[in-house]
Each structure stands twice: as structure tokens, then as C-alpha cells.
Amino acid sequence: MGNVTWDFTEKVVVITGSAIGIGAGAVRAFSDAGARVYGLDVDSTRGTQVAAETGSTFLACDITDRSAVVTAFAEIGEATSRLDVLINNAGGFWEQLTTETTSETEWDKVIDLNLKGVFLCSQQAIPLLRESSSGRIITLGSLAGQTTMYRSSPPYAAAKAGVQALSRVLAYELAAEGITSNVIAPSAVLTDRILEVRGPEERARTQATIPLGRYGEVDDIVRWMLFLASEESAYMTGQIVTVNGGRFMA
Ligand SMILES: NC(=O)c1ccc[n+]([C@@H]2O[C@H](COP(=O)([O-])OP(=O)(O)OC[C@H]3O[C@@H](n4cnc5c(N)ncnc54)[C@H](O)[C@@H]3O)[C@@H](O)[C@H]2O)c1
């Protein structure tokens, strides 16, 4: 990808939400870099397709279901005995609502996917990450978890703020064992889901608020995953890497 060549030969990488969007881009990049990649997703059709194209392994897994997560990580552990990189990527929301119009069902669904799923996967990953010489946890946050400057989804914003805090907790708990935990916070990456959620007018309005003048591309995010997963990032933990074209500068 770009001018940098990454080598993840022998590294075991788990990527949640691997079937489409940023997750599928990550499966491609880590597979190209020689990693042994496991993709977890509820979308078996597209997940299997991405795995076949990349030579990676697909496991059908709903990350909000503890028993499914336990089973998936047990299978990975049996096959590899360790994990080098966990990428908590699965997440998102599908309805732009206000606090008043958010139903309890919607709240639970979005919080479960974006917050509980990260907890469940990280919890199962920790014993396997301990067997690595350079364990890494990378979690997808969002601008929606950092500030409020556009209509999003109340549970999504709350969950993304939550995973950013959880990532720091993981960083603190695991630092002594050499395992790092960092967040990548994008703002607007043109994946199919974003095309579905945000119409053309809103997209044009959004683009006008991005100082670098364009929406992010999947590779803009994936290259930071590669860096954070590598040995080069060893001295960095508990941080939020904001990759948003300058839309929000903190
Ligand atoms: N695209 C953006 O503009 C943007 C902006 C900020 C943050 N993010 C974050 O980046 C991450 C990836 O976003 P994306 O736009 O590529 O998403 P996407 O919708 O394109 O892909 C998400 C994937 O997660 C899978 N998934 C959904 N529910 C699941 C579950 N319960 N268990 C397992 N897999 C499940 C979906 O099937 C899909 O393959 C998300 O965490 C999102 O919140 C994206």
C-alpha cells in the first residue's frame, strides 16, 4: 500500500467486520503483507468471498453474542496458540435519530455492536495476545465519539466515546505485558454503509467541512492499522489517532 512495504509474515491478525468496508480493506492489506488473517463477521456470504480472494480465514461470528465470540477465539487459539493483532473494526449505525426518537431496541442494538462487541472480543483475545511478543489491540472509534458537530446516532456516539475509554483501560491494564491498545478515529470514509446512511446533499455538505477537501478512503484508515499493528508503534499506547482530513482538530 503506497510506498511503504509492510511485512506481517507469521503474524496472526483477527479483524472483526471483515466482510465489507474498512474491515474488508484491512483483510486485503494484512493478507498482502503476509499475515495469517482471521475475519469475523455476521455476513457469511461476503465474508467468505473476501476470505477466498485473500487466502484468509473467515469465521461466522456475531460479536454481540458472547458464546459465538468464545467459540471463534477458541478455534483461533487452537489453530495458532497465539494472537498478535486484534482489530476491533465491526461497528456502525444505520439510522440517524435524535435522543427523543431513539427506541430502547435501537439503543441496545447499537450499543451492543459498538461497545459490548469490543469488550467481548478484547476479553477473549487477551490470553492469546499474551502469547505474542508484540500484542496489539486496535479499535475503531469515530469523530462522533470525540465531539458533536453533525447528526449521527445517540447510541453510536455514546458507544464510540465508550470504546475510546475502554481502549485506554486496556492500554493501562496490559502495558506491563507489552501489549498496546490504541484507537483509530475516522470521520467520513465513503463505504457502502455511509452511502446508504447519508444522501448526496448531506455528503456534499460534509465534504465542504473537511479542510483536506475530500472524504476519506478505506486505505487512509488501513495504513494506520498497519502502522499500529507493527513493531514501529511499540512505544505508543492508550492513544486516539484521529484520521479525518482535518475536520476536527483536537
Ligand atoms: N465509514 C465511516 O465513515 C466511518 C466513520 C467513523 C467510524 N467508522 C467506524 O469504522 C468501522 C468500520 O466502518 P465501515 O464504514 O467500514 O462499516 P461497514 O458497515 O462497511 O462494515 C461493518 C462490517 O461489520 C459487520 N457487522 C455488523 N454487525 C456485526 C456483528 N454483530 N458481528 C460481526 N460483524 C458485524 C457488517 O456485516 C460489516 O461487514 C466501524 O466501527 C465504524 O463505526 C467508520
Q: List, for residues 42-91, the tens digit of each pLDDT value.
A: 999 999 999 999 999 999 999 999 999 999 999 999 999 999 999 999 99
Tell me the pLDDT of the chain averaged across its residues: 96
Report percent pLDDT > 90 for the chain: 92
With a 6 A CB cut-off, is 135 part of the ligand 1 pocket?
Answer: no
Instruction: Check: pTM over 0.85? Answer yes or no.
Output: yes
With a 6 A CB cut-off, is 155 part of the ligand 1 pocket?
Answer: no
- The CATH fold assigned to 12-242 is Rossmann fold (3.40.50)
Look up 150 and say whether it is catalytic: no
User: What is the pLDDT averaged over residues 195-205?
Assistant: 90
The pLDDT value given to residue 31: 98
The pLDDT value given to residue 84: 98
Report percent pLDDT > 70 for the chain: 100
In this predicted structure, the answer to whether residue 250 has a pLDDT above a threshold of 90 is: no
User: What is the pLDDT averaged over residues 137-147?
Assistant: 97
**pLDDT-based confidence at residue 29 (cuts at 50, 70, 90):** very high
Looking at ligand 1, which residue's alpha carbon is closest to its atom 10? 140
User: What is the pLDDT averaged over residues 221-232?
Assistant: 98
Domain ranges of the chain: 12-242
**pLDDT-based confidence at residue 2 (cuts at 50, 70, 90):** confident
With a 6 A CB cut-off, is 25 part of the ligand 1 pocket?
Answer: no
Residue of 147 and 196 predicted with greater confidence: 147
- 193 Cα: distance to centroid of ligand 1 (angstroms): 8
**pLDDT-based confidence at residue 248 (cuts at 50, 70, 90):** very high
User: What is the pLDDT averaged over residues 6-19?
Assistant: 98
With a 6 A CB cut-off, is 63 part of the ligand 1 pocket?
Answer: yes
- Residue 221 CA, closest ligand 1 atom number: 10
The pLDDT value given to residue 160: 98
Which one, of 236, 240, 248, 94, lies nearest residue 161 by Cα?
240
With a 6 A CB cut-off, is 16 part of the ligand 1 pocket?
Answer: yes
The pLDDT value given to residue 44: 98
- Long-range CB pairs of 161-168, under 8 A, 24+ apart, other chains included: 162/111, 162/114, 162/115, 163/88, 163/114, 163/115, 163/118, 163/139, 164/139, 164/240, 166/115, 166/118, 166/119, 166/122, 166/139, 167/137, 167/139, 167/141, 167/238, 167/240, 168/238
Annotated catalytic residue, options 38, 150, 156, 235: 156
